[in-house]
Amino acid sequence: MLTILYFVFTEIFHGTIQYYPLYLLMGLIMWNMFARGTSMGMESILTKSGLITSTYLPREVVVFSAVLTSFFMMLFELIVFSIFMGVFGLMPSATIILLPVMVVILFVLTLGFSFALSSLLVYYRDLRSIWGVILQVAFFAATIIYQITIFPEKIRQIISLNPIVPLLDISRNVTIYNKWPNGGDLTYLISITTVALCVGYVIFKILDRRIVEEL
């Protein structure tokens, strides 16, 4: 996917986005963690239905382990990213200490969505297809292949409400461009991630009461 997107968009953005291959790669790594993690987390309860119905197993553990699997896959991809940074002759600065923070925030955000999706899928099986469409649309709505600066200010404000957008922006700045994040963006990102986790877990606990009966 990286190769296809690189050849398609490199001619468009190569002159305007510095280190565009790294810019694109970081966007794909972080996005894939969210898309893959929520998809795996959503399917986790149904996938482990036999184990859940035959033994006592906290359903939270099932969802958590699915997201954790995606998380470890992302860590491997970040190792590959560091190799590419070396190829481009880039050395990380002190700002790199914030990358682990972004990674943890992404994990928590993914977990929050996964809690809600996994429980909802047990009751509404069509959610699988709906979420797939949402992810496809969200991929192009997030700043994965382009910079948010191509839009007018009013549209930027709307796009920035998507927590993936400031997360990608901060992650790229602290790794590729050696820039410290804006305090407001970081505060918003932490706040919306906390809300997503709490809301997702509440939905999960409400629907969890009858999950075994529905499996």
**Is pLDDT of 142 > 80?**
yes
Q: Contact 163/84 with Cβ under 8 angstroms?
A: no
pLDDT band at 58 (very low <50, low <70, confident <90, very high): confident
Whole-angstrom Cα distance, residue 114 to residue 33? 12
Which pLDDT band, with edges at 50, 70 and 90, does 172 fall under? very high
In a domain, 183, yes or no: yes
In a domain, 193, yes or no: yes
pLDDT tens-digit series, residues 18-52: 888 899 999 999 999 999 999 999 999 998 877 77
Residue 83: inside a domain: yes
Query: Could you tell me if residue 124 is inside a domain?
Result: yes
In a domain, 115, yes or no: yes
Contact yes or no for 32/77 (Cβ under 8 A):
yes
Mean model confidence pLDDT for the chain: 89
- How much of the chain, in percent, has pLDDT values that exceed 70? 91
Is 89 contained in some domain?
A: yes
Q: Is the pLDDT of residue 164 over 80?
A: yes
> Among 28, 37, 23, 36, which Cα is nearest to 2's?
28
pLDDT for residue 1: 57
Provide the residue range defining the domain that includes 173.
Answer: 19-214
Q: Is residue 191 part of a domain?
A: yes
Predicted pLDDT of residue 2: 55
Angle at 34 between CA 99 and CA 149, to 5 degrees: 70
Closest residue by Cα to residue 145 from 10, 46, 32: 10
Mean pLDDT over residues 98-112, rounded?
A: 97
Within a domain: residue 12? Answer: no
Number of domains in the chain: 1
Average pLDDT for 149-167:
91
What does pTM read for this prediction? 0.91
Rounded mean pLDDT, 165-181? 95
Q: What is the DSSP letter of 191?
A: H
